[in-house]
Amino acid sequence: MTRRAARALSLATLTLLALLSLGACNSAPKEPEPTWTSSQLVVGSDNQLWQVVLLALNATGFPQGAEMNRGDMHVVSGWKIELSPWKGRGTRKQAEVLCTPLGPGRWSVDVRVKMQTNQTLAQTLDYSYADWEWVDDDETTARIIVQHMRAYLRPELILEDAPADPVEEYLRRVGDD
């Protein structure tokens, strides 16, 4: 084989490898479009809202993250990892909360929970071997976080129609018949 033929072959091989590597980069699943759960809250102060956001994330098991900007009222939690012995059932989730002022004491709260599943076949219970693949956002967990915030802000919830003592209420109704 001549030097010129060898050079052409190596150039063709390099070109083919470059094209294959580009195809491999494009075939990896990308992060899906975000799905936000939004709500409006009435809060006494921005400090109270900040505390409520942190409490809600803690109550739902999300660890503190590196991005906690109180000035922008923006929080990105750490990854909450739940491993499983079966492929595709282990997950990791990351919550993002963005609060925007609407007026005095009124805030718009947007919550997103990103989710990935573990696609590795072996050692599925060791997160260092995990092969994470993006899936759609977890809207249910985002709604749960919002409901935690609402619950922390409205502890005065009273059921006005509920009897003080259910036994007395039953006896009163039976006695009326």
Bridge pairing between strands 80-82 and 106-118: unpaired
If you average pLDDT over residues 87-93, what whole number do you get?
Answer: 85
Vertex 104: Cα angle to 101 and 108 (nearest 5): 30
Contact criterion met (CB below 8 Å) for 130 and 116: no
Q: What does the domain layout of the chain look like in residue ranges?
A: 39-154
Contact criterion met (CB below 8 Å) for 116 and 83: no
Which pLDDT value is given to residue 23? Answer: 44
**pLDDT tens digits, one per residue of 11-42:** 555 454 444 444 444 455 798 999 999 999 99
Which element (helix H / strand E) includes 175? helix 166-176
Which pLDDT value is given to residue 40? Answer: 93
**pLDDT tens digits, one per residue of 108-160:** 999 999 999 988 888 777 767 888 899 999 999 999 999 999 999 886 544 45
Give yes or no for residue 43 having a pLDDT over 60.
Answer: yes
* Fold entry, domain 39-154: Alpha-D-Glucose-1,6-Bisphosphate; Chain A, domain 4 (3.30.530)
Which pLDDT value is given to residue 34? Answer: 94
Instruction: Select from 116, 135, 121 the least CA-distant residue to 87.
Output: 121
Report the SS3 class of residue 74: strand
Which pLDDT value is given to residue 82? Answer: 87
Q: How far, in Å, CA of 105 to CA of 99, rounded?
A: 12
Question: Is the C-alpha dihedral spanning 39, 145, 92, 100 positive or negative?
Answer: positive
pTM tops 0.95, yes or no: no
Q: How far, in Å, CA of 104 to CA of 41, rounded?
A: 11
Q: How many CB atoms lie within 10 A of CB 83?
A: 15
Contact criterion met (CB below 8 Å) for 98 and 142: no
Q: Confidence band (pLDDT; 50, 70, 90) for 75?
A: very high
Q: For residue 73, give the amino acid letter.
A: M
Q: How far, in Å, CA of 87 to CA of 120, rounded?
A: 6
Number of H helices, E strands in the chain: 4, 7
Residue-averaged pLDDT of the chain: 81
Which pLDDT value is given to residue 72? Answer: 93
